[in-house]
Amino acid sequence: MIRMVLKGMVIGIANIIPGVSGGTMAVSMGIYDKIIHAATHIISEFKKSMGILVPIMIGAAIGVVALARIIEIMFAKAPFQTNLLFIGLILGGLPAMARKVKGKSIRGGHILAFLVFFCLVSGLALLGEQEGAAADLTVNVWNLLKLFGVGIVASATMVIPGVSGSMMLMLMGYYTPVLEQVNDFIDNVMSFNIPGILDGCWVLAPFGIGVVVGIFAIAKLVEFIFQRFPDYAYWAIIGLIVSSPIAILLMNPMGAVKTVSLLTGILSLAAGVVAALKLGEE
């Protein structure tokens, strides 16, 4: 239970950092297929599915609410080390994926799947260097519908390994406005500001509903792909994982790199790899 909550915290934190994919973190920690199965069989296997999804969701909520600002400080004070920590967390999942295709023949289609998804993430990162114009969050029917749609898109990319949901929010101009709304909502809850809480709900509720709908919808598609084309899916995920460190380096500032920061950065990278391997143990 505690281990699953910790894994959920890693996924939650990853989903708010541009260039970092919560899906990739789930793969790195060995729970991606479990989450997909639980989401697609929540009715037929309700108790078992909830035993997986509830601690993951609790951990993700803790990661977003309690640790988001700590991660923000880490990026402000030690961006090089923090980026390498997340790169290490991602690379720590490669051995698990490599074992999925070990000993199997490599076809041209496998290489194509690898290259397509490698280029997809790298290309999105290049486009994401500039955030889109900040979206209008004024409460009206059209904006509420758009928030619902944005939630679906963001959640779909959160579920797909290697594609950063926060990166997609940046491209659509919703990253900063939504993040500010989340922080304001937390502040209002802590100060028991009821009008502020209600105002936040008008924005966050349709976005949150869209996220939930998107997760369950894309999970069905992902499960179908893994059932019909497992080897192609694994090679595509390997391409997504390999390109994710490139996306992180392109999306996030690294700061000045000196001898001390280089050494501590290498330690952070190693710590991330070890943490991913440990969290991925059954």
Q: What is the pLDDT of residues 107-128, one digit of tens each?
A: 899 999 999 988 877 776 676 5
Number of domains composing the chain: 1
CA distance 276 to 96: 10
Mean predicted confidence (pLDDT) in 63-79: 76
Task: Provide the mean pLDDT of the chain.
Answer: 80
DSSP string, 247-269: HHHHHS------HHHHHHHHHHH
Domain assignment of residue 39, given as a range: 2-279
Which pLDDT value is given to residue 170? 67
Residue 191 is classified by DSSP as T
Q: What is the pLDDT of residues 214-249, one digit of tens each?
A: 888 888 888 888 888 888 888 988 887 788 788 777
Which pLDDT value is given to residue 167? 65
Has residue 49 got a pLDDT over 50? yes
| Nearest 10 degrees: Cα torsion 149, 245, 101, 232 | 30
Q: What is the pLDDT of residues 126-184, one digit of tens each?
A: 765 444 455 677 778 888 888 898 888 777 666 776 666 776 776 667 777 887 787 78
Which pLDDT value is given to residue 111? 92
Tell the burial category of 164 from Cβ atoms under 10 Å away from its Cβ (0-12, 13-18, 19+).
buried
CA distance 213 to 147: 13
